Amino acid sequence: MNFRFSIVAAIAMLGAAGATPAFADYQLCNRTSYVLDGAISFQEGEDWKSRGWVRLAPGECGVALAGPIAGEDYYVFARSIEVHQGPTQYFSGNERFCTADGSFEIEGRDQCAARGYDANEFLPVRTEPGDDWVTTFSEASDHTAEQAQIAGAQRLLQDNGFKLARIDGIAARNTTRAVEAYQRSVGIAADGRIDTQLIERLIESAGEEQAKSGLDLCNKTAYLIWSAIGYNTLEGEMSSGWIRIEPGKCRKAIKGKLTEREYFVYAEMADDPQAPTRSGEEQSVWSGDMRFCTKPTRFEIRGRERCTARGFDERGFMRIVTGGASKWEMVFE
């Protein structure tokens, strides 16, 4: 995996013998404690295509590509969804393909940003001819499907503000009590059961919690914007990007309650020949005098010194003073 925000993960390729579901499909399975969105890239004729997203609840599988396996090379990618606290977790490799925020099927893998798409690094999978194939995303704990569902509920309970000491995939008494407390808080039967319906409800309410806090970047222009942020952590100053913000949309740059009094933002309009013609008075870059390191592709960089010497670009970020607020909205217009 290329990105520092990735967690330790194993991608298990299970062939047609025994362990795979009885479908003539390429399936992605989730054995992590995170809710994932998965994507796949494949060759069709002379062209490469990328397709997504497949929502994968912990312990569940989803069809990424219907039909029998032709014995070709495929590429897969997954990321945790935005309702989770903390940084996004990526299950990735080093082969770049185009993606988009919503459901997508994109032809070609070149010039993603120039065509208005995001790009992510996919992991190669060498398959064998057969009726089906399964790629399983897992963490170091290597959960079973049942354990992954329990661990997913534990993580989502934490995302909803319920105190749990560990995420271990074991439905012990403290987990059952937390489930019952959550069920009572949302007005459903407090039976302590962990199932698909509970996971769906936890995802919904965790999203509502995330909407109440964090740093939102909002694009009020008629153009696609790419943005990056700088911030302080216990480990020092960090910069990360790029965040793709479509016209009229907002994106969550930092999740959870803001803990710093100031953050730093850089943004620029994308060159898009299909977008409306800009007037000479329109702002196309939002910057400032705080220098942070960046790079052309997705990044998370520790420290803002000696950017060029370390092989990075350098840009000036503008300061945002939140005054200690737990939620802040930055508008580009």
In single-letter form, the type of residue at position 53 comes to: W
> What's the average model confidence in pLDDT over 227-232?
96
The string of pLDDT tens digits covering residues 279-313 is 455 579 999 999 999 998 889 999 999 999 999 99
For residues 15 and 43, give the distance between their C-alpha atoms in angstroms, rounded to a whole number.
20
Contact 179, 193 (CB under 8 A): yes
For residues 239 and 231, give the distance between their C-alpha atoms in angstroms, rounded to a whole number.
6
What is the CA angle 277-280-283, rounded to 5? 90
User: What is the percent of the chain with per-residue pLDDT over 90, rounded to a whole number?
Assistant: 72
For residues 259 and 325, give the distance between their C-alpha atoms in angstroms, rounded to a whole number.
8
Indicate the angle between helix axes 145-159 and 173-185, nearest 10 degrees: 50
pLDDT level of residue 110 (50, 70, 90 thresholds)? very high
For residues 329 and 80, give the distance between their C-alpha atoms in angstroms, rounded to a whole number.
23
Taken as a whole, the chain contains a residue count of 333
pLDDT level of residue 2 (50, 70, 90 thresholds)? very low
pLDDT of residue 22: 53
Q: Which of 214, 191, 221, 210 is nearest to 260 (CA)?
A: 214
Q: What average pLDDT is seen over the chain?
A: 88
pLDDT of residue 115: 87
- Residue 230, pLDDT above cutoff 70: yes
Q: Three-state SS for 153?
A: helix
In single-letter form, the type of residue at position 106 comes to: I
Q: Which two tokens stand for residue 152?
A: 């997913």
Q: Which of 6-15, 17-26, 223-232, 298-307 has the lowest mean pLDDT?
A: 6-15
How many helices (H) and strands (E) would you count in the chain? 3, 21
Q: Which of 16-20, 71-75, 97-101, 142-146 has the lowest mean pLDDT?
A: 16-20
Contact 227, 241 (CB under 8 A): yes
User: What is the percent of the chain with per-residue pLDDT over 70, rounded to a whole number?
Assistant: 89
pLDDT of residue 38: 98
Q: Which of 9, 18, 158, 170 is nearest to 89 (CA)?
A: 9
Expressed in angstroms, the distance from the first to the final Cα of the chain is 36
Q: Which of 48-52, 155-159, 208-212 has the lowest mean pLDDT?
A: 208-212
Contact 123, 76 (CB under 8 A): yes
pLDDT of residue 18: 33
> What's the average model confidence in pLDDT over 243-267?
93
For residues 300 and 223, give the distance between their C-alpha atoms in angstroms, rounded to a whole number.
25
In single-letter form, the type of residue at position 91 comes to: F
> What's the average model confidence in pLDDT over 255-280?
76
The string of pLDDT tens digits covering residues 262-272 is 999 999 998 65
pLDDT of residue 23: 61
The string of pLDDT tens digits covering residues 150-170 is 999 999 999 999 999 999 999
Contact 128, 71 (CB under 8 A): yes
- Residue 132, pLDDT above cutoff 80: yes
